[in-house]
Amino acid sequence: MFVEVSDIKKSYGEGGSYVQVLKGVTVGIKKGEMCVIQGTSGSGKSTLLNCIGGLDEVEAGSIKIDGNEIVGLKGDKLSDYRRDNLGFIFQFYNLIPNLTVRENIQVCEYLTKDALKMDELLNVLGLYEHRDKFPSQLSGGQQQRCAIARALIKNPKLLLCDEPTGALDSKTSRDILILMEKINKQYGTTMIIVTHNNSIKNMVDHVIYLKDGEISKDYLNESKIPAAELEDL
């Protein structure tokens, strides 16, 4: 398995405000898979994504990425893990307002020695003609494409996506999902997508449901449909 999560536990608060968010979660994701994590608000799905991304520390358990243990990494080693392995896409694009599209992407391009070709990526994402615009001059879908490009320029082994279509209308959501599907096929990028949208699970290889901090379902999707055919986005 490319991503191996074994019996991880995570809680917040103490005393009367103590909440155990993850209660011994174990999952495995193969290299090149598109995987969706679903669950109601408070189920632990974003926390699980943050633990895999090294943004949250776990209290117990193991997380291995490409065979390398990340639990317990600190400081520079944790930064190296994120730099060398991960791309992040969030619901809110977090673009730097006074930088152009190209400059926003270059912020992450400088972090790697194995960057994808800028112009190729801009073309794949339909951003080439917008490369010199500022975020305020872009639509929501174009801003999300820029955020995706910024994450992908590093050529990450693992792309972590937290509600990547949550702020978009249905047509733009479909366009972004078609794009992510294309990226997965073209670059072989392993993707983990946290989403409330029940339709997205139909386009991916692997579906995981969390309920109250535990895995309630974990299955491979035997009847994938193309993102372009998704309904009710």
Q: Give the residue extent of every domain in the chain.
A: 31-54+83-229
Class of domain 31-54+83-229: alpha beta
| Count of H-run helices and E-run strands, the chain | 6, 10
176-223 pLDDT tens trace? 899 899 889 988 999 999 998 899 999 999 999 999 999 999 999 999
Is residue 22 within 8 Å of 8, Cβ to Cβ?
A: yes
Is residue 221 within 8 Å of 207, Cβ to Cβ?
A: yes
3-state helix, strand, coil in the chain (%, to 5): 35, 25, 40
Is residue 153 within 8 Å of 109, Cβ to Cβ?
A: yes
Task: Record the pTM.
Answer: 0.91
21-56 pLDDT tens trace? 999 999 999 999 999 999 998 899 999 999 999 999
Backbone phi and psi for residue 86, each to the nearest 5 degrees, phi listed first: -115, 150
100-153 pLDDT tens trace? 999 999 999 888 888 888 998 898 888 999 999 999 999 998 998 899 899 989
93: pLDDT strictly greater than 90: no
For residue 197, the number of C-alpha atoms closer than 13 Å in the C-beta half-sphere is 27
